[in-house]
Amino acid sequence: MNPNLSATAATQNGLAKIVGHMLWLEQLKAIAITIALAVIGTSVIALLVRVTVGLRIAPEIERQGLDINLHGEEGYIVSG
């Protein structure tokens, strides 16, 4: 058994107050905080990438193909 769940330890560390009907609210709060941190962190990283190297390439390079333009190789050789 988890020693934190014993009656004396649970009352001392505050766990007894949230176990029961309030525990799901604490878990929901933790989920919301996790999602918010992930969204904010991803947004900051995307902004830094956009500012430094850009998120998109030129439309002309995209039409020609990234393989041939970036490293001089063809990804798919289609004979026709």
Query: Structurally, how many domains does the chain consist of?
Result: 1
The reported pLDDT for the residue numbered 35 is 98
What confidence tens digit (pLDDT) does each residue in 53-68 have?
988 888 888 888 888 8
Domain limits for position 39 = 22-80
Residue 79: inside a domain, yes or no? yes
> Looking at the domain assignment, is residue 1 inside a domain?
no
Look at residue 34 in the predicted model and tell me its pLDDT.
98
What length does the chain have? 80
* pLDDT single digits (tens) 5-56: 556 776 777 766 666 667 778 889 999 999 999 999 999 999 999 999 988 8
Residue 59 falls inside a structural domain? yes
Query: Distance between CA 51 and CA 49 in Å, rounded?
Result: 5
Task: For the full predicted model, state whether its pTM sits above 0.85.
Answer: no
Specify if 6 maps to a domain.
no
